[in-house]
Structure 1
Amino acid sequence: MATSQFPLHPQSRYANLNSAIRQPTEFTCFSYDNTRRYHSDDSSLRYYYTPHLPADLNRGFDEFEKHDDTIDEHLDGLLRALEEYERTTGEIVKADVVTWRGMLTKIMSLPFDLRNSFEMNATRFQDTIFIEEHHPFKMSSQRPLDRRGKLMSFWGYKFETLATLSQTWDDTPRSVIEGRGNEVVNNEAQFCSIVKTGFADVKVVIAGEVDAIWDERRPDSPTPHNYVELKTSKRPTSERDDINFERKLQRIWAQSFLLGVPRVMVGFRDNDGTLLSVEEFFTRDIPKIAKRSGRNLWDGKYSIDFTTALLQWLKAAIPSVEETEGVVWRIRYREGMPGVEVERTDEKSFLTQSFIDWRKSGGT
């Protein structure tokens, strides 16, 4: 089958687009609870509250209730939320691209991490390109983790548990606040924000998990929600550690930027999993950290311009003609490739039948 390719080089072709970016605006949301049941609300949203330090991030590892990531959830939760929003408001959400935040994070990070291999599925329906992760590739790319690897992965979820409450501080008993270290860690529950944004002329709808909120979520407020991204990282003790953290900041910035999350709280730990400190970063300021270092490891403006160009290319590479509606296209990048490829497959649409039927009914 014919393959189209978006070249990665020379980088100068994407460096001066000065892409206009639309401020992400949340228009709906949904939650998964601790048993992975879907809810059309913000019931799984957590509230940030500074953890007591130092803290043991290993505690509770053997009781960890971990989501089974071998299950391919496609875009099901996002599509259900879109359908419910449209049925409730009578407004059909118009977009050129609909996807999970993780897909655009991979694209924004690619120019500065050429080892970041990925595969995605795309299908065009009613002139919108829907993009999801190609789950078999994701699973085959994951290296089996030993106990140490699993423990280090757990540290991030433990930090989220230690740094959040299920209710506001005013509504939470002191015993609960002080007992967060005893809480069983469960990553089945998620709160997902869905936003409208855009890269130049490409209108985009993105859904992504939000770790916490700084104050309270007010759905009718005209101002963006004061969401918080939570991350853990090794406390830098050498120049090499500083470089690794600066690289990590690129992905942290992209994730937060895409959803319009204004604040990141990073929990710094030692090699044994002891949480030593928590530092606040404002999303808008993170690219300045990379510039000030002088290492030229990454550039926020280039990430935006590169993503804009790739999305514009995708609109042309995945044609809007009746005979290709429902066809699945594979978006692919492998380490060492000169560009991002798009190839038509024989697979059929991964969109839910409920969403397809709803849209084909004309929104009635």
Structure 2
Amino acid sequence: MSVLPFSSRSQTTALKQPKQLFCYARDIDNKFLFDEEEVRKNHVKYYYLPDSELDRGIDLSAGIAKFQKIPLEDNLAQFDQFLIALEQWEQHEQKKVDVDVIAFRGVMRKLMTAIYDGDNNNEQDDEYTCSVVGFDGQVFIAENAEYESKRLQRERSAPPDEYRAKCEYSGYKFETIATMDKPWSETTRTELSQRYQKQVNNYEQYLVGVRTGIHDIKVLMGAEVDCVWDYMPSEKGFKQVLDHYVELKTSRTIETPKQMLQFETKLFRTWAQCFLIGVKKIVYGFRDAKLVLRTVESYLTEEVPKMIKENPVNKNPVHKRVNCMQALKWYGSILSWLKQEVSDGKSYLLVIDQGRQQLRLESASDEQNAQLRSGQLLTERFINWRQNTSRTQPDN
């Protein structure tokens, strides 16, 4: 077993410029699509919510009875589909992706913010667990099947919470009324007005694979992108596509210092989520206690660390003040530690231990190792692709 204390920090914060390598999508029928031209044309959303529409008192709980909600077990991040998209990219490029770590952004975000998640408003269990596999000179990280299964059982057995369900729905409703299926210039007045009657679902996703990293460690992350702020660049300008993406969120309107502190914690996590893959803009919809949308605010991702640092409300010495730079240095130490400790052919359980303020990397059993290499994390298809296909040297 190897341990990384929460006090660990990387000596450098030199970042690698994020670059999108590929995209894919999940449609309303829960099918994954890998034709990039089709995905960019038919499965990208565009932001549209003028301030003038806020005066109508938009009810973010409207239509909840018709919510097309994906079953919990189907909404776990599908790492196998991410590997298919990666395999397709490698086939097209005729080379293995040149990275050290391959993971979903959601997992990496939890690791990055773990040093502050043990305080108030803790979003995690005391010991969040994910799986790690060393294969082909790379470290693969994904949700742990046993941990996620127990989490789903807890959610199913918990007493119904109608207000919490409405709050969850309000986020998807906000995404629905704040986006269009086509750029504004191609959208009719009728289509614009129909956004409010559109049935809400959480099946549809536009997903990307982004290469990034810190110092000398390169990372490929899979992530969902909510929408495009202005336009989708043409093929010629597609290298800058990350500059056009937006992250959409909702939160309670801020009326007290306590609510301000709660929002700061939420904004910090959103910053980490966007920062990890290079999304530069965040849009928050603020709803009141009756779930009516009151205001919409946009933030530049790069300005959030300064906003948090200079927030005059957060002066309580009892709480650990979140610090984006410290989280970044902690993230760098995680990557270095994993690269050093994970061996090819072995699998591990990676545990966030809030009680002991540390990460633990525990060796998986032989049975767990076999399961993680036969569908739980890596798939036989992907392993065969890597083992049986001749490749050129990775690109630098």
With the length of structure 1 as denominator, give the TM-score of the two structures: 0.93
Measure the CA separation in 1 of the matches of 2:81 and 2:98: 18
1:89 matches 2:83: no
Aligned match for 2:351, one of 332, 336, 343: 332
Query: 2:186 matched to which residue of 1?
Result: 171
1:275 matches 2:293: yes
Query: 1:7 matched to which residue of 2?
Result: 5
Aligned match for 1:134, one of 129, 140, 144: 144
Q: State the number of aligned residues.
A: 353
Measure the CA separation in 2 of the matches of 1:37 and 1:150: 25
Structure 2 counterpart of 1:79, which letter? Answer: L
Query: 1:354 matched to which residue of 2?
Result: 381
How far has the Cα of 1:164 moved from its partner?
A: 0.3
Structure 1 counterpart of 2:143, which letter? Answer: E
Query: 1:260 matched to which residue of 2?
Result: 278
For structure 2, list consecutive stretches of 5 or more residues without a partner in the other structure: 315-319, 392-396
How far has the Cα of 1:178 moved from its partner?
A: 1.2
Aligned match for 2:240, one of 198, 214, 223: 223
How far has the Cα of 1:135 moved from its partner?
A: 3.5
1:38 matches 2:58: no
How far has the Cα of 1:315 moved from its partner?
A: 1.5
Greater displacement, 173-182 / 158-167: 173-182
Q: Structure 2 matches for 1:145-164, cutoff 5 A?
A: 145-164=160-179
Alpha-carbon contact 2:131-2:144 (below 8 Å) kept: yes
Greater displacement, 186-195 / 310-319: 310-319
Give me the identity figure in percent: 30
For structure 1, list consecutive stretches of 5 or more residues without a partner in the other structure: none
How far has the Cα of 1:139 moved from its partner?
A: 4.3
How far has the Cα of 1:76 moved from its partner?
A: 1.2
Per-residue displacement from partner, 1:126-156 (whole Å, max 9, x unpaired)?
0111100113323433543422211111110
Query: 1:122 matched to which residue of 2?
Result: 132
Structure 1 counterpart of 2:29, which letter? Answer: T
Per-residue displacement from partner, 1:19-68 (whole Å, max 9, x unpaired)?
21112110111011111111112332100001621210011101111122
Aligned match for 2:268, one of 236, 250, 257: 250
How far has the Cα of 1:74 moved from its partner?
A: 4.0
Alpha-carbon contact 1:92-1:363 (below 8 Å) kept: no
Query: 1:55 matched to which residue of 2?
Result: 58
Structure 2 counterpart of 1:136, which letter? Answer: E
Q: Structure 2 matches for 1:303-318, cutoff 5 A?
A: 303-318=327-342
Structure 2 counterpart of 1:130, which letter? Answer: F
Measure the CA separation in 1 of the matches of 2:149 and 2:184: 39
1:68 matches 2:71: yes
How far has the Cα of 1:203 moved from its partner?
A: 0.7
State the Cα RMSD in Å.
Answer: 1.7
Structure 2 counterpart of 1:256, which letter? Answer: C
Measure the CA separation in 2 of the matches of 1:240 and 1:140: 32
Measure the CA separation in 1 of the matches of 2:14 and 2:232: 28
How far has the Cα of 1:96 moved from its partner?
A: 0.8
